[in-house]
């Protein structure tokens, strides 16, 4: 059976694969730093060349920012799009690194061998798991089992400014039956995961204006409207005592998770106490009667992310300010329409404004939640593949945040995504001394080989 041969080849080739990854890690492709623009391009070129070496037709597509790398190879099975990003975070503060961030090293640690370098986990090591799987399959069987398009971005760590325009203008060739995104992590040590739902986000900024100018509370206090008071009264009522958001219609369309998913999530043994304890908290603060993973993954939230008004310096000033402001965001789940909720939130606030106040709004974006159609056979296949590679059974999990590219693939290309990645919580992505476990790298490439083979056979 050819899968076994492919897996054996991946095992035998691990040292060479690691050396290839090191070559990529040596390129300081920091996308946010203009001084590294040539390096970012060099990383793109390295990937183009490696894709070509495997057998892909590969090229760079220039953008106003950094280039997209696109590679394509035919195969008999369904068309799959694989996404990763080849840019990395800055390395400051350099003094906190134990060695040069761009001089990768394989290190022995009490928890096993790790690949130490900026980008090892985010995302160069992860994307290379897929290329190594493709390389081994091609070498062993002479072809890929599916038609595969690879799409690597070089701006993920700097806000992806070119991504949406690119997908809109040149995205057609990327349209596949399913996107595979490798930029996430294991659920826990030994427990792989596929993210099947991601919360959306609605961001709003509000500024309430009362008097025309700042007033002195000795002269006006008790008679003049204080916009901070108005703001706190309104936002203080955003949640009820059960933690439910009070904007009318907020929960319309929100469904409870299925019994099956509930059972899976309960089976994950999530340590809410440890999760909160790490940041100095003890009590889950979401809606009462919900289990912690529901609070994080499948329930919408309202949060005040910033608030300001009046005098905030040292000492005291008895000012009644003219204005008070807040930034408010809502994490959204499937069934909630961001634009309807924006209108509902604004209406709810404005209905509470006293006659003497006005309000100005700033729109800080609205993206819907995504919930993958897990009836697609790839989900079942991927779950089985991951379960075979790691000790624990793979879980379908949610994500509390958003992974914008998954939303763009859905919105612009009409394509669902399967998010599977092999990072660990202690990988220190975005931080000094980033690492990727050699074990993640190795099992990851074996898992992709199983997934591609499985999807082709389905």
Residues between 203 and 222 with contacts to a copy of itself, criterion CB under 8 A? 203, 205, 210-213, 215-222
Given a contact cutoff of 8 angstroms between Cβ atoms, the answer to whether 215 and 320 are in contact is yes
Q: Is residue 2 near a copy of itself by the rule CB under 8 A?
A: no
Distance CA 305, CA 202 (A): 12
Give the x/- contact pattern for a copy of itself in 78-107, rule: CB under 8 A: ------------------------------
Q: Which of residues 347-366 bind a copy of itself (CB under 8 A)?
A: 354-356, 364-365
Q: Is residue 1 near a copy of itself by the rule CB under 8 A?
A: no
Given a contact cutoff of 8 angstroms between Cβ atoms, the answer to whether 30 and 87 are in contact is yes
Q: Is residue 414 near a copy of itself by the rule CB under 8 A?
A: no
Q: Is residue 405 near a copy of itself by the rule CB under 8 A?
A: no
Q: Of residues 79, 229, 346, 376, which one binds a copy of itself by CB under 8 A?
A: 229
Given a contact cutoff of 8 angstroms between Cβ atoms, the answer to whether 157 and 88 are in contact is yes
**Cβ proximity to a copy of itself, 34 vs 212, nearer residue:** 212
Q: Which of residues 112-141 bind a copy of itself (CB under 8 A)?
A: none
Q: Is residue 269 near a copy of itself by the rule CB under 8 A?
A: no
Helix (H, G, I), strand (E, B) or coil at 72: strand
CB of 229 to a copy of itself, least distance (A): 6
Beta bridge pairs of residue 324: 208, 309
CB of 41 to a copy of itself, least distance (A): 28
Q: Which of residues 13-32 bind a copy of itself (CB under 8 A)?
A: none
Please give the DSSP secondary-structure letter assigned to residue 350: H
Distance CA 3, CA 174 (A): 27
Torsion (CA) 132, 138, 140, 146 in degrees, nearest 10? 100
Q: Is residue 184 near a copy of itself by the rule CB under 8 A?
A: no
Q: Is residue 275 near a copy of itself by the rule CB under 8 A?
A: yes
Q: Which stretch binds a copy of itself (CB under 8 A): 132-140, 279-287, 341-349, 377-385?
A: 279-287
Q: What are the b/e assignments for 291-320, b being 16+ CB within 10 Å? A: bbbbbbbbbbbbeeeeeebbeeeeeeeebb
Q: Which stretch binds a copy of itself (CB under 8 A): 66-74, 75-83, 250-258, 275-283?
A: 275-283
DSSP string covering 106-158, please?
A: EEEETTEEEEESTTIIIIIHHHHHHHHHHHHHHHHHSS-SEEEEEEEES-GGG
Number of chain positions touching a copy of itself (CB under 8 A): 81
CB of 182 to a copy of itself, least distance (A): 19
Q: Which stretch binds a copy of itself (CB under 8 A): 29-37, 251-259, 276-284, 375-383?
A: 276-284
Q: Which of residues 309-328 bind a copy of itself (CB under 8 A)?
A: 309-312, 315-321, 324-327
Q: Is residue 339 near a copy of itself by the rule CB under 8 A?
A: no
CB of 26 to a copy of itself, least distance (A): 30
DSSP string covering 353-419, please?
A: --TT-EEEEEEEEEE--EE--TTSHHHHHHHHHHHHHSSSPPEEEEESS--HHHHHHHHHH---EEE
**Cβ proximity to a copy of itself, 16 vs 304, nearer residue:** 304
Distance CA 280, CA 72 (A): 48
CB of 230 to a copy of itself, least distance (A): 9
**Cβ proximity to a copy of itself, 211 vs 335, nearer residue:** 211
**Cβ proximity to a copy of itself, 105 vs 205, nearer residue:** 205
Residues in the chain: 458
**Cβ proximity to a copy of itself, 251 vs 308, nearer residue:** 308
Given a contact cutoff of 8 angstroms between Cβ atoms, the answer to whether 59 and 74 are in contact is no
Give the x/- contact pattern for a copy of itself in 381-400, rule: CB under 8 A: ------------------xx
CB of 251 to a copy of itself, least distance (A): 13
Distance CA 369, CA 400 (A): 10
Q: Which stretch binds a copy of itself (CB under 8 A): 29-37, 66-74, 184-192, 196-204?
A: 196-204
**Cβ proximity to a copy of itself, 150 vs 181, nearer residue:** 181
φ and ψ at residue 336, rounded to 5 degrees: -95, 135
Given a contact cutoff of 8 angstroms between Cβ atoms, the answer to whether 236 and 228 are in contact is no
Q: What are the b/e assignments for 119-152, b being 16+ CB within 10 Å? A: bbbbbbbbbbbbbbbbbbbbebeeebbbbbbbbb
Q: Is residue 292 near a copy of itself by the rule CB under 8 A?
A: yes
Q: Is residue 424 near a copy of itself by the rule CB under 8 A?
A: no
């Amino acid at each position: 059976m050819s899968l076994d041969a492919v897996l054996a080849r991946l095992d035998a080739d691990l040292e060479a694969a690691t050396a290839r990854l090191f070559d990529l890690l040596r390129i300081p492709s920091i996308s946010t730093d203009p001084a590294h623009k040539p390096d970012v391009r060099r990383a793109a070129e390295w990937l183009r060349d490696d894709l070509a070496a495997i057998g892909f037709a590969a090229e760079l597509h220039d953008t106003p920012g950094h280039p997209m790398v696109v590679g394509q190879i035919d195969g008999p099975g369904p068309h799959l799009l694989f996404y990763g990003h080849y840019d990395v975070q800055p390395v400051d503060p350099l003094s906190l690194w134990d060695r040069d961030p761009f001089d990768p090293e394989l290190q022995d640690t009490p928890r096993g061998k790790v690949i130490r370098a900026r980008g090892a986990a985010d995302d160069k090591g992860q994307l290379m798991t897929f290329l190594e799987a493709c390389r081994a399959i091609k070498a062993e069987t002479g072809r890929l089992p599916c038609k595969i398009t690879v799409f690597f971005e070089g701006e993920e760590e700097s806000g992806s400014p070119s991504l949406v325009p690119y997908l809109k203008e040149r995205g057609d060739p990327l349209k596949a039956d399913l996107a595979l995104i490798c930029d996430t992590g294991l659920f826990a040590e030994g427990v792989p995961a596929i993210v099947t739902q991601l919360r959306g986000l609605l961001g709003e900024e509000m500024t309430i204006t009362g008097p025309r100018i700042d007033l002195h509370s000795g002269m006006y206090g008790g008679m003049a409207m204080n916009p901070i008071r108005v703001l706190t009264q309104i936002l203080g009522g955003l949640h009820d005592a059960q933690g439910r958001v009070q904007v009318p219609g907020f929960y319309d369309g929100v469904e409870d998770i299925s019994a099956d998913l509930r059972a899976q999530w309960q089976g994950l043994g999530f340590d809410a106490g440890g999760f909160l304890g790490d940041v100095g908290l003890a009590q889950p603060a979401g809606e009462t009667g919900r289990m912690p993973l529901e609070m994080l993954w499948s329930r919408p939230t309202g949060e005040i992310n910033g608030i300001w008004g009046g005098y905030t310096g040292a000492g005291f000033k008895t000012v009644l300010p003219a204005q008070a402001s807040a930034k408010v965001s809502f994490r959204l789940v499937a069934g909630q329409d961001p634009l309807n909720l924006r209108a509902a939130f604004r209406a709810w606030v404005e209905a509470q404004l006293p006659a003497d106040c006005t309000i100005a709004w700033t729109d800080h974006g609205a993206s819907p939640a995504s919930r993958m159609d897990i009836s697609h056979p790839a989900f079942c296949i991927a779950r089985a593949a991951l379960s075979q590679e790691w000790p624990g059974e793979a879980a379908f999990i949610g994500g509390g945040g958003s992974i914008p590219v998954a939303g763009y693939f859905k919105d612009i290309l009409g394509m669902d995504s399967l998010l599977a990645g092999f990072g660990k919580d202690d990988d220190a992505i975005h931080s000094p001394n980033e690492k990727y476990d050699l074990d993640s790298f190795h099992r990851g490439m074996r898992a992709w080989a199983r997934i591609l083979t499985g999807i082709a056979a389905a």
